[in-house]
Amino acid sequence: MSYGLLITLHLLGAVAFAGTVFFEVVLLAGVHDRVPAQHMRPVEQALGTRATAVMPWVLLVLYTAGAALAWRHRALLAHPLASSMGTLMALKIGLAFSVLGHFFTAMWWRRRGQLNGQRSHRLHLSVFCHVLAIVLLAKAMFYLHW
């Protein structure tokens, strides 16, 4: 598969995932104070159900394309501390694995009925911070050099 197609798929997956996390953490969280709980609960449940159906596919595209891109940079990643780009890319990959761990944890809690509001909010906030760091690292890889 061409590098251009891989990067496009990776970016589209990242936009979909980051946009969803932004919506949930920044926009939806701001609505809680304005909408009564009895109206908010069904909306959150419907969004959670939809996200559970869509996000695995988004993550499949995002992580598969990311793995293919990482494979193309395997020489750089073999010695990540040898260059600024390798270091930043390795950090970005580490954060991406952490996000994946968050996702699997959320799915586990959801299936067990343990994904309550407080736990969900903390999880989403952590993923949001990870995603922000990943985006900044992705740009820094091409602009920071030491």
For 65-97, what is each residue's pLDDT tens digit? 999 999 999 999 999 999 999 999 999 999 999
Of 2, 14, 6, 24, residue with least CA distance to 126: 24
Residue 49 pLDDT > 90? no
Which residues contact residue 72 at a Cβ distance below 8 angstroms, ignoring those fewer than 6 apart?
A: 3, 6
* For residues 13-32, average pLDDT: 92
Per-residue pLDDT at 11: 96
Of 59, 25, 44, residue with least CA distance to 129: 25
User: What residues does each domain of the chain span?
Assistant: 3-143
* For residues 94-122, average pLDDT: 91
Count Cβ atoms below 10 Å from residue 74 Cβ, excluding itself: 8
Per-residue pLDDT at 1: 86
Q: How confident is the model at residue 117 (pLDDT cuts 50, 70, 90)?
A: confident
Of 131, 101, 10, residue with least CA distance to 60: 10
Residue 136 pLDDT > 90? yes
E-state strands within the chain: none
